[in-house]
Structure 1
Amino acid sequence: MRGLWSAALLVLILDQASKWAVVWGLNLKDRLVIDVAPPYLRFVMGWNEGINFGLFSGAPGAARWILIALALAICAWVIRFARADGQRRVLWAAGALVGGALGNVVDRLRFGAVADFLNMSCCGINNPFAFNLADVAVFTGAAALVLWARPANTP
């Protein structure tokens, strides 16, 4: 279980530090766009009140608390699932997912929305969406769980 908590804490710290450095340190909240290596990497300020790709944003204030509760419930389920599996790599993958989810929960508690700022485009495809390191950790952690977790009832 130490791997799960280590990964979760590492992701949470990296996520919150990156948001502080870019959103406040580089003043992206007021500048709104910073071209780092266009079009491959731009910092674009976005406050996501909903879920992925802004779905359900603009919903009543209660939605914020529902999304926080849902994220915490999913974290609890993932922790239980990873403990039952027991493989080191599964615990680390679960930790990445949990740390990312908690990073976004911290944003919702502090600001009422998730701070997104990474925007990447390539090869003639213009990506209109922004994301953050927590989103990357949630996605990679979930993908790793799908690939590495043992099927149910398997020794």
Structure 2
Amino acid sequence: MAWPWLLAGVILVADQVTKILVQAALAPGAGVVLVPDLLNLVHAHNRGVAFGMLSGLGGWQVPLLAAVTGVVIVVLGVWLFRLGRTEAGTRLALGLIIGGALGNLIDRVRLGYVVDFVDVHWQEVYHYPAFNVADSAITVGAVVLVGVLIREERAARRDRAG
């Protein structure tokens, strides 16, 4: 039952190591083209939440976001602790989300912002906001969790129907 916590730890370490490497290699705001018209490595600072929302609020949001993230981590940790052994999909999702949330929480507490570095774009037409390993883990975990919940709801409907 410890494997989701191990997964969270692996995500946390991978996130922090990649951010340290980016900070050592690139000045803030700098970037390197990895795949022309598609993928750059950048050194970006995000003081907000997903997609940079709330980043232009003068800094007061950083401790609030850190506190909310801390509460979410505790709630998800309790949920994970109480899960049964058979709920592997939910355990996987929670391990990914907790690991990612911890990675971004450490940045917020230590730096006052989250370091993002993956910059995906299509030529100059479309630019997805920069993200990091933690963001990816949170996103994948959320998708897995939604899939598990949909599957459980469909199973419950089948059971009620017949």
TM-score class, shorter-chain normalisation, is 0.7 to 0.9
Cα distance in 1 for partners of 2:148, 2:123 equals: 31
Q: 1:37 Cα deviation (Å)? A: 1.3
Long gaps (5+) in structure 2: 157-162
How many corresponding residue pairs? 150
Match runs of 1:74-113 below 5 Å: 74-86=72-84, 87-113=87-113
Please say if residues 48 and 114 of structure 1, whose CA atoms lie closer than 8 Å, have aligned partners that are also in contact: yes
SS of corresponding position for 1:34: strand
Aligned to 2:9: 9
The answer to which of 36-45 and 79-88 deviates more is: 79-88
CA deviations over 1:110-147 (Å, ceiling 9, x no partner)? 11000011011248752152111100000101111111
Cα distance in 1 for partners of 2:124, 2:115 equals: 26
TM-score by length of 1: 0.86
Amino-acid identity (%):
31
Cα distance in 1 for partners of 2:20, 2:145 equals: 29
SS of corresponding position for 1:29: coil
SS of corresponding position for 1:120: strand
Aligned to 1:50: 48
Identify the match of residue 71 of structure 1 among 60, 69, 72: 69
Cα distance in 1 for partners of 2:105, 2:82 equals: 25
Larger Rg: 2
Q: 1:16 Cα deviation (Å)? A: 0.6
Please say if residues 44 and 130 of structure 2, whose CA atoms lie closer than 8 Å, have aligned partners that are also in contact: yes
TM-score by length of 2: 0.82
SS of corresponding position for 2:33: strand
Cα distance in 1 for partners of 2:102, 2:125 equals: 31
Long gaps (5+) in structure 1: none
